Amino acid sequence: MNTTTPLQQEIPKIDASASKASGICGYIIATYVWTIVPLLTIFFASLILLVTPIALATDRRRNLLHKVATWWAKSIIQCNPWWTFEVFGKENLPEENTPVVYVANHQSQADILAVFLINRQFRWLAKDSLFKIPFFGWAMRAVGYVPVKRGDKRSQIRCFRRAREHLEQGTSMLFFPEGTRSNDGKLHTFKNGAFRLAANARVGVMPITLEGVSNLLPKGSMIPSVATVRITVHPVIPSANTIESQVISRAKEAIASALIQK
């Protein structure tokens, strides 16, 4: 894994293409990946579940459990040598106990792996079906990640109440405001929930651009590609006493500024 944090330099553009192994080599790589990923997931999920009683007794915010989840993401990345991750804008990240609402574009199911590389405490909003996956979902619930059922108003009310509690306790929240993955790499309409939450909790909004994540595993293929992922953390946008539509517009512009496909 390669991580880079430039201070005052232009963020270079990455190649939008990704090369994929073919033939027997491709099948060997696919077999390796789809063996190691479930094994690592079961291992770290089990570790989270084992230490949950201790964490609940000593760590109300469950930060230790999120740290273990971060180890899970980094272990998967480290075990895939054909993936390169570059992190830009770390100087924009808030102090550990300063909560913000992170908003990121949504390119792939692997987006969350990239966001873990910012090395900050956060809880993320995810569709409720993920919480039903054995080990993975059990661990997500233990850490305190927030489930939401699409189209269910009661579920949405519960999830935003829980997200507000996390912010009040000093823990940031992560949202993918597009709601669903982009199939063309372009930004789509942002839902306003994350921004309204930030305004109500009087915390800032921090945009994050994820570029190249969709290249890790091309659509319709089980064979990972040689690809570069760039994570760009943008300066925080104040949300209190600011018109919601303006905050959404500024966040979308910031995210788009580091995308190849606007």
CATH classification at residue 231: 3.40.1130
Say how many Å lie between the first and final Cα of the chain, rounded: 27
Q: Poorest-confidence range of 5-19, 139-153, 224-238, 239-253? A: 5-19
Q: Is residue 104 part of a domain?
A: yes
- Average pLDDT over all residues of the chain: 90
| pLDDT of 116 above 80 | yes
Q: Is residue 3 part of a domain?
A: no
Q: Are 88 and 4 in contact (CB under 8 A)?
A: yes
Q: Rounded distance, CA 150 to CA 127, Å?
A: 7
Q: Is residue 13 part of a domain?
A: no
What pLDDT, on the 0 to 100 scale, is given for residue 100?
Answer: 98
* Total count of domains within the chain: 1
Q: Rounded distance, CA 24 to CA 39, Å?
A: 23
Which residue type sits at 180?
T
Q: Rounded distance, CA 110 to CA 17, Å?
A: 17
Q: Rounded distance, CA 119 to CA 152, Å?
A: 32
CA dihedral 26, 30, 33, 36 (to 10 degrees): -120
Across residues 131-155, what is the average pLDDT? 95
Tokens 């790589």 belong to: 29
Residue count of the chain, please give it.
262
Q: Are 144 and 161 in contact (CB under 8 A)?
A: no
Percentage helix, strand, coil for the chain under 3-state DSSP, each rounded to 5: 45, 15, 40
Q: Is residue 26 part of a domain?
A: yes
3-state secondary structure of 253: helix
CA contacts within 13 A on the Cβ side of 169:
17
Q: Rounded distance, CA 42 to CA 40, Å?
A: 6
Q: Is residue 10 part of a domain?
A: no
Q: Which of 185, 165, 188 is nearest to 230 (CA)?
A: 185
Across residues 20-34, what is the average pLDDT? 82
Question: Which tokens is 22 given?
Answer: 């073919």
The pTM score is 0.90
Question: Which tokens is 137 given?
Answer: 């979902």
Across residues 138-156, what is the average pLDDT? 94
Which residue type sits at 153?
K
| pLDDT of 261 above 70 | no
Q: How many CB atoms lie within 10 A of CB 193?
A: 18
Q: How many Å separate Cα 201 from the centre of its chain?
A: 21
Q: Which domain holds residue 97?
A: 19-256
Q: Is residue 2 part of a domain?
A: no
Q: Is residue 186 part of a domain?
A: yes
Q: How many Å separate Cα 116 from the centre of its chain?
A: 6
